[in-house]
Structure 1
Amino acid sequence: MASHSENHYFVPHGSIYPALISVGLLSMASGFVFNVTGSDTRLDGSFKNPALSYLATPGKYMMYFGLAVILTMMFKWLSAVVTESLTGQYKKWEDKSFRIGMIVFICSEVAFFAAFFGALFYMRVLSVPDLASYAPDITPYKDFLSAWPSQGPGGTVLGETYKPDPAFHPMSWSGLPLINTLLLLSSGATITWAHWGLIKNNRKQLIIGLFLTIALGITFLCCQAAEYHHAYTEMGLTLKSGAYGATFFMLTGFHGFHVTIGTLMLIVIWLRSIKGHFTPEHHFGFEGVAWYWHFVDVVWLGLYIFVYML
């Protein structure tokens, strides 16, 4: 018969961490809104709302303050969770709830990227061709260009003439994007190899596998930064490059953000592995990060196919 300690569900004491993180989120979000509102400019550099320009500076500091609060509270909160795990507070029911929670979280991330991919498909397949198919005598969209990649409306729209940027070029599937694909696919293999090492209680294999995965993730981010610099300075591809530029940076940028978060999570797990925190029987902290990293790999394959290749 199972003992009481194996059947109970651990409930921690009340904590102030959620309230403080809420304050940090509110401060960071409000600061972002103030900063965008106060620094919103036209193409010629002039302010669209000069009366609100005073919001930019305090908004920037609110963002920094909110981010600092969130990071500090995350460190403190997660440290408490690690302590609870190491002291044997988590049994099978806690492990099960953690797994369900991680699955729900990844499902929410799937929905997040599905919305972005949906926006790409809607603009590429429906909105851009439809605007170009309207008869000029019944629509203000005259000579609208339906070509994809679309860097803007082209022709005359609502009485204003748009001229395509001659320096604009869409991002190729070869070069850095192909290298990044190989990097992420390799990182999926290295973290799986590390997991095998943990299951076999081979600490050396676990630590080396995690280190290689972290190195591949950081290399991916460096390559993406170089890709963005090349796009802005030599290809005329920016956030203002019409529907293509907006969707390209929206999808790849948010994926890069997820790679950054995943790399930070891997570093934490790597340091914990060096300290011997995981065992072959109990290592959901490792598994949760591995699930997240594989999710990031799969999303990138979708990006590579639908954004770069097609």
Structure 2
Amino acid sequence: MTDSPSPIVPPATARVSFEFFPPRSDEAEKTLMGTAQKLAAFGPEFVSMTYGAGGSTRERSLQAAAALVRATGTPVAGHLTCVGASREEVNAVARAYWDCGIRHIVALRGDAAEPGSAFTPHPAGYRNAAELVAGLRAIAPFEISVAAYPETHPEAASPQADLDNLRRKLDAGATRAITQFFFTPETFLRFRDKAAGAGITAPIVPGILPIANVAQARRFAAQCGAHMPPELLRQLDGLDADPPLRAEVTTAIAAQLCATLRRHGVEDFHIYTLNRALSSAALCRLLGLPAASAAQSTAGRARQVVQA
């Protein structure tokens, strides 16, 4: 990719998917379901439910994913990791997903339960995400998404080694890659071009983080190696003290990022919601996605339940 790629005509309509995390209380569950139902009105391709480090949220993730199926009628993807479990245990979770109607898995190696600790495979477990993808393919005809890292996974030996690992996951049978969040369009576009140059033809979907809390976003970025350019930090400075202004500014920043990507042919966006509806819904509106009325959304969910 050149430093100033030539823009192309953006697609007429963007497509979105949303990521949620499992609630830790009854009140948080109500918030999650309310958020999911509001965002379902934008017709997402799917929604996903994360799986805690070391499998620490296994039961809550399964329960929340199943609840999303019932509450929204939207296709749900359950996250699944290799950490701290044998192949038999991981396979059992995959079958549990299938049994509750989930046909899409986000297959991840996963992080150690102890922050900062190196990943160590279970003696009887999958050693990496590529092995997990192959194992899932042997269980059922799942749709499978995997992770990609535009700024290189922190544990990768090199950017090329990280790209080679992505290709192994896709060659093992994954459907698409979803990226870690990033903050400049060039970050994604350069990565997309490098992946294409390496012979990767599967869709690579950019992960978009509408910043809900600046301090939290900075922590997330430090943990995963996502660069926050000085100009962005200046725009964000002091916004945590003014939540209404923060919401307006950070939504505009995310929308501008998506608009630039669309001008370069990107059609799909995976939005990290942090279980909050407002910023994600505003971003969808700015992407040109109309929200169905409550009645239409409810009727659509009812039809899908009946058809299931």
Fold shared, TM-score > 0.5 on shorter chain? no
Q: From the two aligned structures, give the one with the greater helix fraction.
A: 1
- The normalised TM-score by structure 2 is 0.23
- The normalised TM-score by structure 1 is 0.23
Structure of larger gyration radius: 1
Higher relative contact order (CA 8 A, sep 6+): 2
Q: From the two aligned structures, give the one with the greater strand fraction.
A: 2
